């Protein structure tokens, strides 16, 4: 009996554009910011489809962090410019010698198409690459067209503190909460409107997407947008589990379940699971595990810890959950626990955890054994204000 499949309910912005090419693209030279996740429902890459649909007009490609083929594993592993072996056109890296498009990079094109799969989290760098592209486009008289894709963790929930501008970096340039609840197209609108970028921006919306959808509800195929984002389940935990990048505890890189796993050689998995489970954290079960990373932190060493199994996606709050887990780890580990020193995403002085949290005061409060529930009360008013203000950028209903 053949396996059952989830019928496609959503049409991506790429497919909407291909089905009905806009007249304002006529005779325009096109560029495409993309990576391996930029595919249609049949897993055909966007550059192939666009080159076919707009024959002779796709002049350049652009790649974000992790490279055009998403082959670069970790942070601050740069990729170089290259030529696309299929189309023979230049591929300009926006995570190499430059993270902002230069005038020379934009010279071959009139319109930059953007087709990137975001994961719904502030510290995922694709949105900040988009912001740099929008700023450069405004400066050099280019148009940006975002081909929208789903927020894989839904658009109904927002969570976390807003970034303090004093802690701006490449993992957070503007006051966005950790879980922002916007699609890439909506983020582009928010950047342009709330922060006065002045870009000539068009968003091609999806068809059929609704805010309460998770990626599994869309019927679209998942292609890892970065090497350590293998499944939609990874994306679901990422807005909290990314915190471990700022510590000496493994976030599961070098395993088949990055970010779902967390641990270190100095942790007792059963004790940790019992401690965090006693908090009765909604929507998730913590299973004690031992894993051995093949690369990254603690490579080749058995790490005790837990795996997060999300049991109720609507009840699960990734950011506050991982803050609670962080405090449980610190209670058990004592002096064995440490914040990871710089560098981190081209920041060479400030602690990575402060950049990830988006506010250095949060770390200080955590060090004082602060209760994450109390922290949540503090950021709730600003979060509600963001949710209300960002609705003007929404393209989709509930």
Q: Is it the case that residue 1 has pLDDT exceeding 50?
A: no
Name the band, by pLDDT with cuts 50, 70 and 90, for residue 21: confident
Q: Summarize the confidence of residues 274-294 as an average pLDDT.
A: 97
Assign 3-state DSSP to the chain and report helix, strand, coil percentages, each to 5.
Answer: 35, 15, 50
Q: In this structure, is residue 43 part of a structural domain?
A: yes
Name the band, by pLDDT with cuts 50, 70 and 90, for residue 291: very high
Tokens found for residue 102: 């230069």
**Average pLDDT taken over every residue of the chain:** 95
pLDDT digits (tens, 9 = 90+) for 352-396: 999 999 999 999 999 998 889 899 999 999 999 999 999 999 999
Q: Do residues 284 and 209 both lie within one domain?
A: no
Element spanning 58, H or E = strand 58-63
Q: In this structure, is residue 149 part of a structural domain?
A: yes
Helix and strand tally (H, E) in the chain?
12, 12
Q: Do residues 261 and 350 both lie within one domain?
A: yes
Q: Do residues 213 and 340 both lie within one domain?
A: no
Q: Is it the case that residue 39 has pLDDT exceeding 90?
A: yes
Closest Cα partner for 338 from 363, 307, 358?
Answer: 363
Q: Which residues, at least 6 apart from 353, have a Cβ–Cβ distance to it below 8 Å? A: 243, 246, 247, 339, 340, 363
Q: Do residues 141 and 253 both lie within one domain?
A: no
Q: Do residues 51 and 145 both lie within one domain?
A: yes
Tokens found for residue 350: 């400030």
The residue assigned the tokens 């966005």 is 176
Q: Is it the case that residue 322 has pLDDT exceeding 50?
A: yes
The model carries a pTM of: 0.94
pLDDT digits (tens, 9 = 90+) for 181-194: 999 999 999 999 99
Cβ neighbour number for residue 21 with a 10 Å cutoff? 12
Tokens found for residue 134: 């929008």
- pLDDT above 70 covers what percent of the chain? 97
Number of domains in the chain: 2
The angle at the Cα of 384, spanning 380 to 385, to the nearest 5 degrees, equals: 120
Strands in 111-114's sheet, in edge-to-edge order, are 82-83, 90-93, 58-63, 30-33, 111-114, 143-147, 200-204
Q: What are phi and psi of 213, to 5 degrees?
A: -80, 135
Q: Do residues 81 and 178 both lie within one domain?
A: yes
Question: Cα-atom radius of gyration of the chain, to the nearest Å?
Answer: 21
Q: Do residues 82 and 39 both lie within one domain?
A: yes
Which one of 194, 221, 248 terminates a domain? 221
The count of C-alpha atoms lying within 13 angstroms of the C-alpha of 205, restricted to the half-sphere facing its C-beta, is: 13
Q: In this structure, is residue 377 part of a structural domain?
A: no
Q: Do residues 205 and 246 both lie within one domain?
A: no
pLDDT digits (tens, 9 = 90+) for 218-236: 999 999 999 999 999 999 9
Q: Is it the case that residue 71 has pLDDT exceeding 90?
A: no
Q: Do residues 105 and 236 both lie within one domain?
A: no
What is the domain-level CATH number for residue 258? 3.90.1150.140
Closest Cα partner for 240 from 128, 126, 316?
Answer: 316
Q: Do residues 62 and 195 both lie within one domain?
A: yes
pLDDT digits (tens, 9 = 90+) for 76-132: 677 888 999 999 999 999 998 889 999 999 999 999 999 999 999 999 999 999 999
What is the domain-level CATH number for residue 158? 3.40.50.12170
pLDDT digits (tens, 9 = 90+) for 130-164: 999 999 999 999 999 999 999 999 999 999 999 99
Q: Do residues 251 and 362 both lie within one domain?
A: yes
The burial of 361, by beta-carbon neighbours within 10 Å (0-12 exposed, 13-18 middle, 19 or more buried), is given as middle
| Residue-number span of the structural domain to which 119 is assigned | 13-221
Q: Summarize the confidence of residues 261-281 as an average pLDDT.
A: 97
pLDDT of residue 6: 55
SS3 (DSSP) at 31: strand
Name the band, by pLDDT with cuts 50, 70 and 90, for residue 69: confident
Q: Do residues 217 and 239 both lie within one domain?
A: no
């Amino acid at each position: 009996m053949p396996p059952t499949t989830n019928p496609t309910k959503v049409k991506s912005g790429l497919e909407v554009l291909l089905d009905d090419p806009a007249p304002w693209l006529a005779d325009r030279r096109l560029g495409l910011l993309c990576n391996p996740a930029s595919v249609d429902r049949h897993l055909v890459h966007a550059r192939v489809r666009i080159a076919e649909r707009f024959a002779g007009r796709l002049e350049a490609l652009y790649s974000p962090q992790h490279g055009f083929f998403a082959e670069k594993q970790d942070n601050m592993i740069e990729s170089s410019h290259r030529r696309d072996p299929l189309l023979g056109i230049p591929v300009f890296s926006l995570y190499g010698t430059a993270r902002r498009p230069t005038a020379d990079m934009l010279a071959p094109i009139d319109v930059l198409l953007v087709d990137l799969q975001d994961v719904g989290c502030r510290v995922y760098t694709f949105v900040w690459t988009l912001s740099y592209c929008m700023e450069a486009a405004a400066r050099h008289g280019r148009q940006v067209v975002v081909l929208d894709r789903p927020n894989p963790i839904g658009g109904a929930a927002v969570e976390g503190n807003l970034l303090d501008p004093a802690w701006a970096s490449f993992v957070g340039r503007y006051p966005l909460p950790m879980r922002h609840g916007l699609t890439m197209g909506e983020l582009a609108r928010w950047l342009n409107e709330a922060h006065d970028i002045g870009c000539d921006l068009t968003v091609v919306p999806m068809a059929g997407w609704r805010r309460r959808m998770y990626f599994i509800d869309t019927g679209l195929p998942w292609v890892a947008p970065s090497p350590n984002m293998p499944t939609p389940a990874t994306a679901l935990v990422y807005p909290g589990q990314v915190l471990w990048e700022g510590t000496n505890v493994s976030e599961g890189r070098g395993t088949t379940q990055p970010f779902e796993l967390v641990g270190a050689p100095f942790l007792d998995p059963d004790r940790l699971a019992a401690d965090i489970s006693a908090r009765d954290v909604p929507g998730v079960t913590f299973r004690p595990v031992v894993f051995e990373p093949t690369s990254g932190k603690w490579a080749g060493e058995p790490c005790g810890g837990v795996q997060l199994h999300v049991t109720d996606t609507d009840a699960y709050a990734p950011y506050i959950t991982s803050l609670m887990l962080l405090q449980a780890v610190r209670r058990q580990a004592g002096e064995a626990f440490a914040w990871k020193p710089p560098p981190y995403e081209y920041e060479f002085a400030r602690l990575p955890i402060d950049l990830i949290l988006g506010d250095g005061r949060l770390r200080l409060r955590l060090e004082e054994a602060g209760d994450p529930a109390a922290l949540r009360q503090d950021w709730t008013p600003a979060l509600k204000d963001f949710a209300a203000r960002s609705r003007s950028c929404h393209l989709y209903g509930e």
